[in-house]
Amino acid sequence: MELEYGPEKLAGILNCHPVNTPLSVGIQLKEASDLERNFEKLKINYQTHTGILDYLACRTRPDLAPAVSILSSFNNTPGINHWRQVIHCRKYLAGTIDLKLTLRPDSNDLSKTIQHFTNATWADDIETRLSRSRSICFWKSCPIACNSKKQRNITLSSTEAELNALSDGVQENLWIKFLIEELYGDNLNPTQFNVDNKGLLDKINNFGSNLKTKHLDIKAKWLQDLKKNNNIFVKLIPSETMVADALTKPSNLESLNRLKAKCFLVTVVFSSMAGGVETQLLEHSCDT
């Protein structure tokens, strides 16, 4: 979190009791009722507060991304429950104000392979039943891109939702890979896409033509073609190692800490006595 930007924007909350997660674990927010919209009488600029959170999430705090995505979806018609979760998120920030994103490519990683994790919820929006896609991309063990967004169509299965997320991730990866090759002056290996849905992998490997599922057929055939031409490699991984899981929904502490450790979000302690800075990796320091 940028110290020159964050603290003054957290005025009045820095001394509060901190919380462990950006959103209440498992919470499902929905459109505000007419009664809840009485919140507007308080003249609080809800969108300004979500904008501050978005500024941080897009730059140095990927752990905030799902919370910002969810809270920002209510910018036009916020209610008191949405505002309470904004306050919850700011309390989380107050308790993790020394958390920093460390960009340090692993010099021992000689594989020349981009690692991309994609994941999706399924019909978790209780108002629209839209799913949410999330992806995060690593180069030499260093996070270089991530995003979270609602899908555009209602999916009829979790596999279809995961297919949408993978398709979006592959499209994003095309320009990321091109950029890295331009910067490093080298040809990269096929990008490895990590998924935790076996049904998705089966569809990519064996999906046949079906007039009733044309929308799925097009995406599956496109991915099959990229795989056949050695442009991508799709790998099935255990769900407990899926770091993108913490980016799709209000996650528990274990899932959140896994994401922080993978992204090298570290606690930075400024020591006036030593005149320097001490850093601690999340695996050892993030127990709160």
Domain ranges of the chain: 1-97, 99-288
| 59: number of Cβ within 10 Å | 12
Neighbours of 92 (CB within 10 A): 21
3-state secondary structure at position 98: coil
- Domain 99-288 maps to which CATH number in 3.30.70.2740, 3.30.499.10, 3.30.420.10, 3.40.50.720? 3.30.420.10
Task: Report how far apart, in Å, the C-alpha atoms of 92 and of each of 52, 58, 131, 155, 253 are.
Answer: 14, 17, 25, 33, 12
Contact 21, 250 (CB under 8 A): yes
**Distances, alpha carbon 263 to alpha carbons 86, 102, 221, 235, in Å:** 23, 8, 32, 20
Most confidently modeled range among 11-15, 161-165, 209-213, 242-246:
161-165
Q: What percent of the chain has pLDDT over 70?
A: 85
Whole-angstrom Cα distance, residue 145 to residue 155? 25
**87-112 confidence digits (pLDDT tens):** 999 999 988 988 888 888 888 888 89
Sheet with 132-139, side-by-side order of all strands: 142-150, 132-139, 114-120, 191-195, 232-236
